[in-house]
């Protein structure tokens, strides 16, 4: 890119020198102007020829060629060269701005290193991270960046996760903790077992999403692209009519109306819209990346501005997801037996509810007696020492025809049955996140009034959270498909944002107009299913998402209105004979440059 820009800059400097020289040596000015024109415009001619081969006729390059050749034809040689020269200067400046924005975005995320210490045959060797395979062992020393995802097998360190999560607070990492590419060890030496290749690491997946976001356009971008395809041929036909009708039908000056038609062509180029709009969304995505919010496309960023309804999953989203075992209620068995049965049943489960249950059980699990483990919506069925055990919510046990009464207590209630007989329940508690009420309050104070909580938990537990967060609408005892149906129904009248944990709610995230997954850093499911991935579990990032989306859309529409307004004024002035072709160049390249700079303001805005 640097070589290309350097070559373009050299061409522009030489062309400016020749252009100025043409005014000094007036007796040979025409040959100098022709040489200057060919030097500054040959790449545009090549583009036009290539586009004609593809069937693309009406674009800004075609308009510039027609306009400048027309200027030569009517003897406006200086203006013909000036138009092409200013056009190339504008394009160069715009390229600088766009490349700068892309580079700054990639710097936010692309923290990958080209070397790492690997342990081979008990010796340390320096290798390229691309060569690493699963189960390889690498060493990360203080100040070094982790190049691949892995699990810590030795050592402890505070790590800087800011390049991924946007958080300045250090995170303590120790043995058996998962660690991701992009993290930086601050004060300890870590030995890490590689769990994924370099190209499949978290940073690489994030970069892929950012790259793909340039392809997936917003509705505004799609409209402008379609608009340009229709608009450009209309402009060419209009310019021809402006020239032909006064000159050959009304008998007025051919040269005057040819000049005015050329002004019309140059001023009407849609460059400002075509360049500044996608750049605006791209800048917004870059700002959010810096804050630890991964937006998959400009269309998703635009949608964030249109949301009218927020629907939240409860566990792990509005609540900490850090459950505690609050109560054990046995029936026809002892407390210790009930706890033992539940622990054996939950042994192979990765659900957040299983964590406090396992912590509370201090005895060793004999995995040989666990057979036929099946985790389904709402519960687990498993054989333990030839006893058929069911562990799950009320609906799960009722579906399996277990006879028992629903318990009305605060918390998440897990019912247990053995050999078709109800043997008790345990109650798990969860804390509401500190920032949950702040985020809901912010949204309410900024014009959002439609909220709901969807959860698979019991009614008592969900209603308590809803009451504390002052959310009137909630649904309990829901399966993922029930949540999906709720969102599908709500979408008929509203633009819905669903905020969930990214794993259990994958189908719901896909169903919503905007799916936002909380936490679950590095989860393939979260990145695939969500439109927006918050790289930690901080709900405050929802506020950042809304602020940046609103400001980005404001800038985009500023660009659209400004570009169209200036062009319309210059077009009218040109037809009336007041404008010059140089002013028309400003209406094209000048306006483009201004709108590009306006888009780059998104990077500077404190939000």
Whole-number pLDDT of residue 4: 47
CATH class of 116-200: mainly beta
Whole-number pLDDT of residue 93: 66
Residue positions annotated with a catalytic role = 313
Please state which of the ranges 78-82, 435-439, 489-493 shows the lowest mean pLDDT.
78-82
Whole-number pLDDT of residue 160: 82
DSSP codes of every residue in 341-387: HHHHHHTT--STTHHHHHHH--SPP-GGGEEEEEEETTEEEEEETTE
Same fold, 116-200 and 324-429: no
Whole-number pLDDT of residue 520: 56
Give every strand in the sheet of 157-160, ordered side by side: 171-173, 157-160, 184-185
CATH of 292-320+432-550, one of 3.40.50.10800, 3.20.20.450, 2.70.70.10, 3.40.50.1000: 3.40.50.1000
With a cut of 60, say whether residue 140 has pLDDT above it. Answer: yes
> Can you tell me the mean pLDDT for 413-439?
91
Using the structure block, give the residue that is written with the tokens 């949204």. Answer: 443
With a cut of 70, say whether residue 162 has pLDDT above it. Answer: no
**Residue 462, phi then psi, degrees to nearest 5:** -70, -40
Q: Which of 506-510, 511-515, 571-575 has the highest mean pLDDT?
A: 511-515
In whole numbers, what is the pLDDT of the chain averaged over residues?
83
With a cut of 70, say whether residue 363 has pLDDT above it. Answer: yes
> Can you tell me the mean pLDDT for 253-278?
78
Question: Distance between CA atoms of 325 and 359, rounded to whole angstroms?
Answer: 9
With a cut of 60, say whether residue 404 has pLDDT above it. Answer: yes
Please state which of the ranges 185-189, 376-380, 392-396, 420-424 shows the lowest mean pLDDT.
376-380
Q: Kindly report, residue by residue over 166-214, the tens digit of the pLDDT.
A: 555 678 899 998 898 888 888 889 999 999 888 877 767 666 665 555 4
With a cut of 80, say whether residue 247 has pLDDT above it. Answer: yes
* 3-state secondary structure at position 502: coil
- The 3-state secondary structure of 279-330 reads HHHHHHHHHHHHCCEEECCHHHHHHHCCCCEEEEEHHHHHECCCCEEEEEEE
With a cut of 70, say whether residue 354 has pLDDT above it. Answer: yes
Whole-number pLDDT of residue 2: 45
**Alpha-carbon separation of residue 410 from 422, 423, 427, 428, 463 (angstroms):** 20, 20, 8, 9, 9
Chain length of the chain: 607
Please state which of the ranges 20-29, 209-218, 409-418 shows the lowest mean pLDDT.
209-218
With a cut of 70, say whether residue 543 has pLDDT above it. Answer: yes
Whole-number pLDDT of residue 566: 87
Question: Distance between CA atoms of 214 and 163, rounded to whole angstroms?
Answer: 21
Whole-number pLDDT of residue 3: 45
CATH superfamily entry for domain 324-429: Calcium-transporting ATPase, cytoplasmic domain N (3.40.1110.10)
Question: Distance between CA atoms of 270 and 98, rounded to whole angstroms?
Answer: 17
Whole-number pLDDT of residue 96: 65
Return the higher-pLDDT residue of 63 and 427: 427
Question: Distance between CA atoms of 283 and 83, rounded to whole angstroms?
Answer: 30
With a cut of 70, say whether residue 516 has pLDDT above it. Answer: yes
Q: Kindly report, residue by residue over 325-341, the tens digit of the pLDDT.
A: 888 999 999 999 999 99
Using the structure block, give the residue that is written with the tokens 């991701």. Answer: 180
With a cut of 90, say whether residue 436 has pLDDT above it. Answer: yes
With a cut of 50, say whether residue 598 has pLDDT above it. Answer: yes
Q: Which of 86-95, 290-299, 380-389 has the highest mean pLDDT?
A: 380-389
Which residue ranges make up each domain of the chain? 2-107+212-280+551-604, 116-200, 292-320+432-550, 324-429
Q: Which of 144-148, 342-346, 583-587 has the highest mean pLDDT?
A: 342-346
Whole-number pLDDT of residue 383: 96
Quickly state the pLDDT bin for 216 (edges 50, 70, 90).
low
């Amino acid at each position: 890119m640097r070589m290309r820009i350097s070559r373009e800059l050299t061409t522009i400097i030489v062309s400016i020198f020749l252009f100025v020289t043409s005014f000094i040596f007036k007796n040979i000015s025409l040959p100098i102007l022709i040489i200057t024109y060919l030097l500054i415009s040959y790449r545009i001619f090549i583009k036009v020829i290539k586009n004609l081969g593809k069937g693309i006729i009406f674009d800004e390059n075609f308009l510039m060629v027609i306009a400048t050749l027309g200027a030569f034809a009517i003897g406006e040689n200086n203006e013909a060269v000036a138009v092409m020269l200013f056009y190339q200067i504008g394009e160069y400046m715009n390229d600088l701005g766009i490349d700068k924005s892309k580079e700054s975005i990639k710097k936010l995320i692309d923290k990958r290193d080209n070397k790492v210490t690997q342990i081979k045959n008990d010796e340390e060797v320096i290798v390229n991270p691309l060569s690493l395979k699963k189960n390889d062992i690498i060493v990360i020393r203080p100040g070094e960046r982790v190049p691949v995802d892995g699990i810590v097998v030795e050592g402890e360190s505070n790590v800087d996760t800011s390049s991924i999560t946007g958080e300045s607070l250090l995170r303590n990492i120790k043995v058996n903790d998962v660690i991701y590419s992009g993290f930086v060890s601050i004060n300890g030496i870590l030995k890490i077992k590689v769990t994924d290749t370099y190209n499949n690491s978290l940073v690489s997946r994030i970069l892929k999403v950012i790259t793909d976001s340039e392809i997936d356009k917003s509705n505004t971008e799609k409209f402008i692209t379609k608009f340009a395809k229709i608009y450009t041929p209309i402009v060419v036909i209009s310019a021809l009519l402006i020239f032909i009708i006064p000159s050959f039908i009304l008998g007025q000056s051919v040269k005057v109306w040819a000049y005015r038609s050329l002004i019309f062509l140059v001023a009407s180029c849609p460059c400002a819209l075509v360049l500044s709009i996608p750049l605006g969304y791209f800048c917004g995505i870059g700002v959010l990346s810096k804050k630890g919010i991964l937006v998959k496309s400009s269309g998703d960023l635009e949608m964030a501005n249109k949301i009218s309804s927020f629907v939240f999953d409860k566990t792990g989203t509005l609540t900490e997801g850090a459950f505690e075992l609050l109560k054990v209620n046995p029936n026809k068995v002892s407390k210790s037996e009930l706890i033992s049965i539940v622990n054996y049943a939950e042994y192979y489960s990765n659900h957040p509810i299983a964590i406090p249950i396992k912590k509370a059980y201090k005895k060793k699990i004999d995995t040989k007696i666990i057979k036929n483990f099946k985790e389904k919506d709402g519960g687990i069925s498993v054989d333990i020492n030839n006893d058929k055990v069911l562990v799950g919510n009320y609906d799960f046990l009722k579906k399996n025809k277990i006879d028992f009464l629903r318990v009305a207590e605060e918390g998440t209630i897990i019912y247990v049955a053995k050999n078709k007989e109800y043997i008790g329940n345990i109650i798990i508690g969860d804390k509401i996140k500190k920032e949950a009420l702040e985020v809901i309050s912010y949204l309410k104070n900024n014009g959002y009034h439609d909220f709901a909580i969807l959860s698979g938990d019991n009614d008592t537990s969900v209603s308590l959270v809803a009451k504390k967060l002052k959310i009137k609408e909630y649904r309990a005892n829901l399966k993922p498909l029930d949540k999906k149906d709720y969102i599908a129904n709500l979408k008929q009248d509203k633009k819905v944002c669903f905020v969930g944990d990214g794993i259990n709610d994958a189908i719901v995230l896909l169903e919503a107009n905007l799916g936002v997954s909380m936490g679950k850093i590095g989860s393939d499911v979260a990145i695939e299913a969500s439109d927006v991935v918050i790289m930690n579990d901080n709900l405050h990032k929802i506020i950042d998402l809304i602020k940046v989306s609103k400001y980005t859309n404001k800038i985009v529409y500023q660009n659209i209105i400004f570009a169209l307004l200036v062009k319309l004024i210059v077009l009218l002035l040109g037809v009336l004979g007041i404008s010059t072709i140089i002013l028309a160049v400003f209406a094209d390249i000048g306006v483009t440059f201004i709108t590009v700079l306006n888009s780059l303001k998104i990077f500077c805005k404190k939000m």
